[in-house]
Amino acid sequence: MTARMGWRFAALESRRRLAARMGWLRRAALLSWPRRAALCALCCLVLAAPAAANSAPDAAESARARINWLLNCQGCHRADASGLPGGAPNMAGEVSRFLNVKGGREYLVRVPGVANAPLSDADLAALLNWMLRTFDPQHLPTNFSPYRAAEVAALRRHPLLEEAPTLRATLTSTPAFTDEESR
């Protein structure tokens, strides 16, 4: 008998808690018409927020890419991509130029800091696309095809080691690298 009463008491207690939680609904019913309309509009905005977030993945992807830049890249390249003298190279105003040179697209993924970054292939692709659009939009080719996770996965399996500075010097000395007409 006491076991049954314990069950009934628990059921009654959960109904009381539910009624207490529903109190805001009863109070909302007592609001005047304009206040109810405002409350309804607020509820609609709150419910529509996830749908709006799903319809704009570029904003979320850009925010995630920026955070990845801050956590993984800015320590050497600085927040504005200006680089460090004698260390990480400047990327501001010139990183997209690599896309105009044969082998430059691959180079950007294979440099040691990129190829060995602790990011997934998809996050790294998003970071590269964000970096190109943010730090050098003026040199981005008109036919630019964004990096994809599969492309990044294939290229980062073969990172550049000691040859990265030599290859960079070769690529940047190519006339297409500095030629504005090659875009």
- Whether the CB-CB separation of 123 and 68 falls below 8 Å is answered with yes
Residue type, 83: G
Distance in angstroms (rounded) separating the CA atoms of residues 96 and 145: 12
Q: Are residues 42 and 84 in the same domain?
A: no
Q: Are residues 10 and 80 in the same domain?
A: no
Question: In this structure, what CATH number is given to the domain that contains residue 122?
Answer: 1.10.760.10
CA-atom Rg of the chain in angstroms: 27
Q: Are residues 7 and 21 in the same domain?
A: yes
Distance in angstroms (rounded) separating the CA atoms of residues 107 and 114: 10
Our measurement of the distance from residue 92's CA atom to the centroid of its chain's CA atoms, rounded to an integer in Å, reads: 19
In tens digits, what is the pLDDT along the chain, a chain of 183 residues?
555 555 555 655 666 665 566 555 555 555 555 555 555 555 555 555 444 444 344 888 888 888 888 888 888 888 888 888 888 888 888 888 888 889 889 988 998 888 888 989 999 999 999 999 998 889 888 888 999 999 999 999 999 888 888 888 888 887 777 665 544
| End residue of a domain, out of 55, 77, 100 | 55
Q: Are residues 107 and 92 in the same domain?
A: yes
Count of beta carbons in the 10 Å neighbourhood of residue 133: 15
Q: Are residues 49 and 71 in the same domain?
A: no
Question: pTM above the 0.95 mark?
Answer: no
Q: Are residues 11 and 72 in the same domain?
A: no
Q: Are residues 43 and 106 in the same domain?
A: no
Q: Are residues 36 and 68 in the same domain?
A: no
What range defines the domain where residue 8 resides? Answer: 2-55
Query: What is the total count of domains within the chain?
Result: 2
- Whether the CB-CB separation of 127 and 148 falls below 8 Å is answered with no
Q: Are residues 70 and 159 in the same domain?
A: yes
Q: Are residues 118 and 38 in the same domain?
A: no
Our measurement of the distance from residue 46's CA atom to the centroid of its chain's CA atoms, rounded to an integer in Å, reads: 23
